[in-house]
């Protein structure tokens, strides 16, 4: 009886031990599979990308600006005195010769001023003659003689001023050219120095493109530098220009420095006001960072972003950069990639700093 009881008790214990061992093995297998699944899932979440090495390149930063074609001999003609415009002899587009009469004021007032000044001069000369006679007879003092002499001199200068103004109650062409703008009409009242005509001299060497540059670009320019000029009116044609004028001071209104680029028509028909784009490459150069254009994301003017690959090889950082200019398939970076060795090119639009990457 005792032996049978012992066997009965040992069997359930053995079964329990086997069940526990089997359960542990099952749990161990499930844990290994779960861990393997997590590893595979982590690999699936990484984004495949292509990268490119950041390169250093010494280049001369070009200057790009836009401007208007005009003439270096452009003149704004006006009356020296004010008055009523009596007659205009030319219209916009007319070709004029040197000395040609363009417009004249009503001279009623100025002629009266000239007559008044001349009569005043005649009276002053008569007064001086009488005082000189009295002075010779010792009937007038030296002071009276000096005052009469001064009065005569003042009247003479007044008459000279009136005569001079009478000559400039009209406008004459100072040189051969074309009237490109007429700013007055007959019967209007104009003031001294108010522009009446814009005269454009149409010589072969008078065409210039006027642009404005910043102080940094102005400091890198010098007279005689070559320039590349293109125009919307003549697409595909490049005009060779040369820097002919560099302003010594900035324009107070804009804070920019005016610059003139002289160009030749090269067989093309030019007209004032044509829009032109100018590229100048100064001789000074400095090192810049160069990356592929594909690495640029979220560009806005010269400000942009790139994704820089971190040292662990699987994480990225979004970095702001300043683009100096584009050179073919490369972007020249002025600042923002200091210490960065590798940037993401293909796959960059799908990235964020929380994403992991996998280089292809």
| 97: CB partners within 8 A, 6+ apart | 173, 176
Beta-sheet pairing, 357-359 with 47-49? parallel
pTM for the whole structure? 0.51
Query: What are the DSSP calls for 198-250, one per residue?
Result: EEE---TT-EEEEEEE-HHHHHT--TT-EEEEEETTEEEEEEEEEEEEE-SS-
What phi, psi does 153 have (nearest 5°)? Answer: -65, -40
Query: Which residues, at least 6 apart from 180, have a Cβ–Cβ distance to it below 8 Å?
Result: 92, 93, 198, 199, 200, 272
The sign of the CA dihedral 101, 103, 108, 112 is: negative
List per-residue pLDDT tens for the chain, 360 residues long.
Answer: 344 443 444 434 433 443 444 443 444 444 444 444 444 444 457 888 889 999 888 877 788 899 999 877 778 899 988 899 999 999 988 889 888 999 999 989 889 999 999 999 999 999 999 999 998 888 888 999 999 999 999 999 999 999 998 888 999 998 888 888 899 999 999 988 899 998 887 665 678 999 999 888 898 888 999 999 999 999 889 999 999 999 999 989 889 999 999 998 888 888 888 899 999 988 777 788 899 988 888 878 788 999 998 888 888 888 899 888 787 788 888 888 888 889 998 887 778 887 888 888
What confidence score (pLDDT) does residue 211 get? 93
Task: Return the bridge partners of 71, or none.
Answer: 207
Per-residue pLDDT, 72:
72
Q: Which residues contact 285 (CB under 8 A, 6 or more apart)?
A: 58, 59, 60, 61
d(CA 345, CA 50): 6
Task: Go through the domains of the chain in sequence order and give each one's CATH number.
Answer: 48-59+285-359 (2.40.420.20), 65-72+204-280 (2.40.30.170), 108-167 (1.10.287.470)
């Amino acid at each position: 009886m005792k032996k049978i009881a012992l066997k009965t008790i040992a069997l359930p214990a053995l079964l329990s031990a086997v069940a526990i061992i089997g359960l542990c093995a099952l749990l161990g297998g499930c844990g290994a599979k779960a861990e393997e699944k997590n590893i595979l899932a982590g690999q699936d979440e990484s984004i495949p990308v292509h990268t490119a090495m950041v390169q250093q390149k010494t280049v001369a930063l070009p200057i790009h600006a836009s401007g208007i074609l005009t003439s270096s001999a452009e003149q704004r003609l006006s009356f020296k005195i004010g008055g009523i415009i009596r007659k205009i002899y030319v219209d916009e587009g007319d070709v004029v010769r040197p000395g040609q009469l363009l417009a004249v004021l009503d001279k009623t007032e100025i002629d009266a001023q000239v007559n008044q000044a001349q009569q005043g001069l005649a009276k002053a000369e008569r007064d001086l003659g009488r005082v000189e006679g009295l002075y010779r007879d010792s009937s007038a003092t030296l002071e009276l003689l000096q005052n009469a002499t001064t009065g005569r001199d003042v009247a003479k200068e007044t008459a000279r001023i009136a005569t001079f103004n009478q000559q400039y109650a009209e406008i004459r062409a100072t040189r051969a050219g074309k009237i490109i703008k007429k700013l007055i009409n007959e019967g209007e009242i104009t003031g001294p120095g108010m522009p009446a005509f814009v005269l454009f001299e149409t010589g072969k060497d008078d065409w210039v493109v006027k642009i404005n540059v910043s102080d940094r670009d102005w400091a890198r320019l010098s007279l005689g530098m070559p320039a590349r000029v293109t125009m919307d009116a003549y697409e595909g044609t490049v005009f060779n220009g040369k820097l002919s004028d560099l302003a010594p001071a900035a324009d107070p209104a804009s804070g920019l420095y005016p610059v003139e680029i002289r160009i030749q028509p090269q067989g093309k028909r030019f007209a004032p006001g044509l829009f032109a784009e100018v590229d100048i490459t100064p001789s000074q150069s400095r090192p810049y960072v160069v990356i592929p254009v594909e690495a640029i994301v979220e560009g806005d003017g010269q400000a942009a972003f790139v994704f820089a690959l971190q040292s662990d090889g699987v994480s990225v950082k979004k970095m702001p950069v300043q683009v100096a200019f584009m050179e073919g398939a490369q972007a020249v970076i002025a600042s923002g990639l200091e210490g960065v060795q590798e940037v993401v090119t293909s796959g960059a639009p799908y990235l964020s700093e929380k994403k992991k990457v996998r280089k292809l």
